[in-house]
């Protein structure tokens, strides 16, 4: 009996070690709790983030232990990547946004248009007047396909009435990055210097790769399992994130 208990504990120990290695160095699951990345990521999406994409820092490990203040095996992220990072305010909270500005770039919104290094980002209207979530509120929005300077394309939503007309001109410091949510009028991101601002390279956790599960909590949950099937978004299962 004693040997069986020891064998079981040993198996559990090794399983935890393997899970820790996978989570720290390969892939980590994340849950989308807010609508800041709509229409591309929805509340209730569960996704895998690759931890190796940009190398490793202390934020690659659970609880971000202060054992090393640089990155190893570092790789430069690409403009347009959807990235999980630790917020500079507390180095603890996970945010997910799209990388818009590289070190040395200037970023500004002028007359509702996004400018990078004083060049307007190409924006093509896809649909006019469609509702998009912002917390418990539904916003009347316009969807645009934006094309960044490196030809990365994605869909961004702008509020039809009351969208941000103009912003300050932001200059991204060395070894830092500028992030924005795709739901432009419902995202706390690098435009808000006091709460997010410029994000250090060391704060990058990983690149969002794949949605592996998604459900609408308003239609069902694990606690209401008899309604769970109504909430499942099967069309989002195993969807690649762009």
Out of 34, 35, 36, 60, which one is annotated catalytic? 36
Out of 34, 35, 51, 97, which one is annotated catalytic? 97
Look up 97 and say whether it is catalytic: yes
Could you tell me how far CA 97 lies from the centroid of its own chain? Answer: 4
Contacts of 60 (CB under 8 A, 6+ apart): 24, 25, 51, 205, 206
Look up 36 and say whether it is catalytic: yes
The C-alpha atoms of residue 75 and residue 13 are separated, in whole angstroms, by 32
Q: Active-site residue numbers? A: 36, 97
């Amino acid at each position: 009996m004693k040997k069986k208990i020891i064998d079981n504990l040993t198996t559990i120990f090794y399983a935890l070690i393997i899970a820790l290695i996978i989570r720290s160095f390969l892939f980590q699951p994340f849950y989308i709790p807010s609508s800041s990345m709509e229409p591309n990521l929805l509340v209730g999406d569960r996704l895998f983030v690759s931890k190796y994409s940009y190398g490793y820092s202390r934020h690659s490990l659970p609880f971000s232990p202060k054992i090393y203040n640089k990155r190893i095996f570092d790789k430069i992220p690409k403009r347009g990547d959807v990235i999980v990072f630790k917020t500079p305010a507390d180095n603890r909270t996970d945010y997910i946004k799209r990388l818009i500005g590289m070190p040395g770039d200037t970023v500004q919104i002028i007359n509702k248009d996004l400018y990078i290094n004083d060049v307007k980002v190409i924006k093509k209207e896809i649909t006019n007047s469609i509702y998009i979530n912002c917390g418990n509120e539904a916003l009347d929005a316009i969807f645009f396909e934006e094309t960044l300077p490196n030809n990365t394309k994605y869909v961004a939503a702008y509020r039809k009435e009351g969208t941000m007309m103009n912003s300050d001109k932001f200059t991204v410091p060395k070894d830092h990055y500028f992030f924005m949510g795709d739901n432009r009028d419902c995202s706390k991101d690098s435009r808000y210097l006091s709460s997010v601002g410029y994000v250090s390279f060391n704060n990058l956790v990983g690149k969002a790769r794949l949605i592996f599960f998604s459900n609408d909590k308003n239609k069902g949950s694990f606690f209401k399992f008899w309604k769970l099937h109504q909430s499942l978004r099967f069309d989002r299962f195993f969807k690649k994130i762009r």
